[in-house]
Chain A
Amino acid sequence: MPSRWKDLLPGLLLLTMVAVLFAVTLQFDTVPAAFAQGMQSAAMPQLILVLITILTIVMIYQGHGHEEDKKAPMTWRFWATAAVLLSAAFLFKWLGITLTTALTCFALPLLWGERRITRVAIYSIATPLCIYLLFTHALQLRLPQGVLSPWLT
């Protein structure tokens, strides 16, 4: 990646996204003009995508000759946190919100350097429990409980 092209990477990614989405808009159904009331359904997204393209080209042009800003390094902690959040997204359906939140509240503090394991354990039980009691019993919001459904209703 040339170092004197600031914002080239986000620019290229945005342009790729625009190209893909523009191709998608070409597949949108059309309706007779009388039903379209001024604009076909693809017109607005296409207009916005063209605008993003122009602005992205301006951004890339403005970044020419400038060094990329120094960014904080992404350590293993970031990737591990991302993995925990993604795992949670998959686990919600099976384990339910309360249990998955408990696991997340247990894993994240440990990943972020917390070493007082008893506190982490108490915290990871107390937080989802408070949320369960508040939302299910006080606010009458039924949270999906997955495998805990027979016990938590």
Chain B
Amino acid sequence: MEPILTGLGILTDPVAIAVILLGTVVGVLVGALPGLSSSMAVALLLPFTIYLDPIPAISMLAALYCAGTFGGSITAILINAPGAPPAAATAFDGFPMAQKGEAGRALGMAAVSSVIGGILSLVVMVLAAPALARIAHSFGPPEYFALAIFGLSMLASISGKSPVKNLIGGALGLLIATVGVDLTTGVERFTFGVPQLYEGISFIPILIGLFAVAELLSQADVVDRAMDRIALKAIKLPSRDDFKRVWKTILRSSGIGTFIGILPAEGSTMAAMIGYNEARRWSKHGDKFGTGEIEGIAGPEAANNAATGGSMVPTLALGIPGSATAAVILGGLQIHGIRPGSYLFENQPELLYSIFAAMLVANLVFLVFGLVGARLFSRISLIPRTFLWPTVFALCVVGAYGVNQSLVDVTIMLITGFIGFWLKRYGFGAAPIIMGVVLGSLVENSLAQSLIIFDQDASRFLERPIALGFFLLAFLSIFAKPISNGLKGLKRRRAVNGGHS
């Protein structure tokens, strides 16, 4: 009981409340701005949290994560330009509703479904994370190695055109994590005589470079387009009839979103898409989806916000990020000297409840902001690109410099920004690379320790049932789709051959 009270005590700390509110406002604003994602906002804000105590710092990032996911729906509904990828599905029915003069009803439903999805997932988080951490208590290095491989293998199924490119991105991230002096042997690796690289490449410049500078370079060639901006008179809370129609959708999507969030690497975007598709599949008005159906808003919005709480479960309990933004938050935990996993729940159990409280407050605050301030937040998209992105660049520079007070980190940020731009142009996402960087030391250390335990015989991984289970899951997450496609092709060919004979 004491950790719960201590954790929830954050709500009585004025500084903590102020930073949570700040995180929520920044989250909604950034979420509403097309091109700026919550991952990028968390990456940009992370260096500044170093000046805070760990608990308010992580709480602010968690609040930003929740609010950023909701913020995207405002511009998705009002101008058909999702502020963030998880809100893309919301635009399918949100914008048609707005065109029909129902923008207020659509935004009200988006806010309420987001809050319900978010809060339900937080309940799951607070129950499941300690349970999962207790299970993980019995894990040794072989199990952790297998778990990290499973986490990385899930990159094959995250959103993006090519699973193999996501896996290459993850491997590149692992490679970046090997830079610096090997702590076991004391041997320099890929330092090329640069003393600042002896301790490895800092996480924050890579994050900022890949998420923010790469996007800035992409924006250089974006032509401003005039968008239909739907006038918003007032936001309406969902009516009783609306609720009757969507409550099952909200509950189903909350479950889907939480489950997808818990899966390593899968984030809000996939949750929203599946939430939308399932809402359409189960709806009596499925054929009208895309023309302004209220369930088409409730489904993705409940799912994408539920994924935020879900994704914090593996992040806190196992140290395996549940999404790209959770990977950044995991980096934040590491920077603040917090070790996720069973150790965290034994030594700092109050952190979980602080994060719970912060995300709960964020959900309630963005409900109020969503209902009262949507009109104002939608105007944020009127900020000219020509002023927005140079400001982002200025914050990138200070953020990259601030952690180690080193201009080398600023140079690393710019280099990774250029590399990130090129990779993005060829279909490689930033999220897999970040996942690889975050998991790099876990993969290497647990493999080395496992080999010592196994006396250099890697085949003995097969003697550990949990590790074997994770390896099988990893195999399935990479090969399930190709195998299923192959079987379908075989069936088709047989059917064609059968028809000919």
Contact = CB atoms under 8 A, between A and B. Distances in A.
Interface of A: 7, 9-10, 14, 21, 24-25, 28-31, 35-42, 44-45, 48-49, 51-52, 55-56, 58-59, 62, 69, 71-75, 77-78, 80-82, 85-86, 88-89, 92-93, 97, 100-101, 104-105, 108-109, 111-114, 123-124, 127-128, 131, 135, 139, 141-144
Contacts of A71: 425
A105 B171 contact: no
21 contacts: A21-B190, A30-B187, A37-B448, A37-B452, A38-B456, A41-B185, A44-B178, A44-B444, A49-B175, A71-B425, A75-B221, A81-B220, A86-B414, A88-B397, A101-B397, A104-B393, A104-B394, A111-B220, A114-B384, A123-B387, A124-B390
A135 B427 CA distance: 36
A74 B425 CA distance: 10
A88 B172 CA distance: 27
B402 A58 contact: no
Given A51-B171, A55-B168, A109-B390, 7 more contacts: A10-B428, A24-B190, A39-B451, A45-B189, A52-B171, A62-B162, A88-B397
A41 B48 contact: no
B134 interface: no
A74 to B, nearest CB: 6
A106 to B, nearest CB: 9
Given A21-B190, A29-B187, A77-B221, A55 B398 contact: no
A106 B449 CA distance: 53
Contact of A44 (B220, B405, B447): B447
B389 interface: yes
Contacts of B337: none
A144 B404 CA distance: 13
Nearest to A142: B405
Contacts of A69: 427
B187 A31 contact: yes
A14 B175 CA distance: 13
Contacts of B449: 37-38
Contacts of B390: 104-105, 108-109, 123-124, 127
Interface of B: 48, 51, 162, 164-165, 167-168, 171-172, 174-175, 178, 182, 184-190, 213, 216-217, 220-221, 224, 384-387, 389-391, 393-395, 397-398, 401-402, 405, 407, 410-411, 414, 417-418, 423, 425-428, 443-444, 447-452, 456
A92 B414 CA distance: 12
Contacts of B389: 108, 112
Given A44-B444, A92-B407, A144-B407, A37 B164 contact: no
A10 B190 contact: no
Nearest to A105: B390
A28 B456 CA distance: 21
Contacts of A21: 175, 190
Given A7-B426, A31-B186, A108-B389, A48 B394 contact: no
Contacts of B448: 37-39, 44
A52 B152 CA distance: 13
Contacts of B172: 52
